[in-house]
Amino acid sequence: LVLTIGYLILEADFIEIRLSDGKGMKAAFVAYDHRTGFGLVRAAGPLGVIPMRFGNSGALKKGAPALVASHGGENSLMGVRITSRKEFAGYWEYLLDKAIFTSPPHPEFAGAALIRPGGRLLAIGSLFSRTVLPGVGIVPGNMFVPIDLLKPILADLKKSGRSSKPPRPWMGLFAAEVRDRLFVNRISPGGPAERAGVRPGDIILAVNQEEVKTLAGFYRKVW
């Protein structure tokens, strides 16, 4: 099994694992978890590698050193620092309570491994990000999904391809925060939001008459 970030494989027609010697090996889609963003694929044959052990991402603190490894062998390795641990809300109805933010940014962040000194896996790379650091300003970096989120659902993903936790309600709505306002940017055709009459350009003010100003607050009230 190979762990990656789910958007790389979610709509793929063909999956291939590129080995360190440059050879390719076919792989099959195994699982995707929308709640965390993790994805799993299974190689068609033995990879001849030693599996990486899980670390404890919950113990990772701001300022700690780590290593990011992506495809490309030793040339892909980059030393980083943890710039923050905070919530992350994505416009695709996605929320992490304690995402891991690092800097400097790795150019091949998607599916990359965040590794602590000692070789344990801490997180999987998801996005390019910008973090505001007091006294420094805006710092470019990456957002990683903590490995601790995988541990309780891994058995489910391997068995059935999805977590056994109840799915969160899906709205089919893409929104953005602008100065304490939530603007609807896009609507999924035929989705619940469109059927309810929501349109691009609308401003979300409240959920069940309770005011919301952030994406995270909006999602939590709906869920």
Instruction: Give per-residue pLDDT as tens, 124-133.
Output: 999 999 887 7
Angstrom distance (rounded) from CA 152 to CA 173? 28
**Bridge partners of residue 39, in order along the sequence:** 4, 32
pLDDT the model gives residue 183:
96
Range scoring the smallest mean pLDDT among 69-73, 143-147, 185-189? 69-73
Angstrom distance (rounded) from CA 65 to CA 103? 10
**Residue 36 in this model has a pLDDT that exceeds 90:** yes
Residues 116, 72 contacting (CB under 8 angstroms)? no
Q: Which of 16-20, 70-74, 111-115 has the highest mean pLDDT?
A: 111-115
Q: Could you report the per-residue pLDDT of 171-188, keeping only the tens digit for each? A: 999 999 988 899 999 999
How remote is the C-alpha of 18 from its chain's centroid?
22
pLDDT the model gives residue 71:
84
- In percent, the amount of the chain with pLDDT more than 70 equals 100
Query: Whole-model pTM?
Result: 0.93
23 — pLDDT class (breaks 50, 70, 90)? confident
pLDDT the model gives residue 115:
97
Residues 194-209: what's their mean pLDDT? 96
Q: 36, 30, 164, 9: which is closest to 100 by C-alpha?
A: 36
Average per-residue pLDDT for the chain: 93
pLDDT the model gives residue 17:
93
pLDDT the model gives residue 133:
75
